[in-house]
Amino acid sequence: MNRTARILRIVLLLLLAAGTARAQEHAAYEGLPVSEVVVHGLETTDRDVVLRRMDLREGIPFERATARRDERAITALGFFWSVRVEPEGSAPPDSVRVHVRLKERFA
């Protein structure tokens, strides 16, 4: 195996490990009600444009599949270079805060 192939293999393994860790973290919040949706990274796009594309809202149980769908729906707007929907523990402890991290294309 040449050096380039070894480097690519290592990079792929690291990406796979990162994705697995992210999935495990999200699994800890599965089914907990969303207490808040916080949007980060907006400079020119209105927050409501993003929120209208999302199924995750306050009071709705957090589901990884819904978070992935929301990422795809926001990406489909075409306004952002990157979109990540991430859960975080919240106060009260039996709920989850959802962070939407965006990088705008046209900012």
pLDDT digits (tens, 9 = 90+) for 18-41: 665 555 566 889 999 999 999 999
pLDDT band for position 4 (cuts 50, 70, 90):
confident
Q: Where are the beta strands (DSSP E) in the chain?
A: 34-40, 80-89, 96-104
pTM of the predicted model as reported, rounded to 2 decimal places: 0.75
Average pLDDT, the chain: 87
Residues 48-104 have pLDDT tens digits of: 999 999 999 999 999 999 999 999 999 999 999 999 999 998 767 789 999 999 999
Task: Decide: residue 102, CB within 10 A, 0-12 exposed, 13-18 middle, 19+ buried.
Answer: buried
| The two three-digit tokens of residue 44, written as one number | 């020119």
Predicted confidence at residue 63, as pLDDT, reads 95
Where do runs of H (alpha helix) occur along 28-63? 47-52
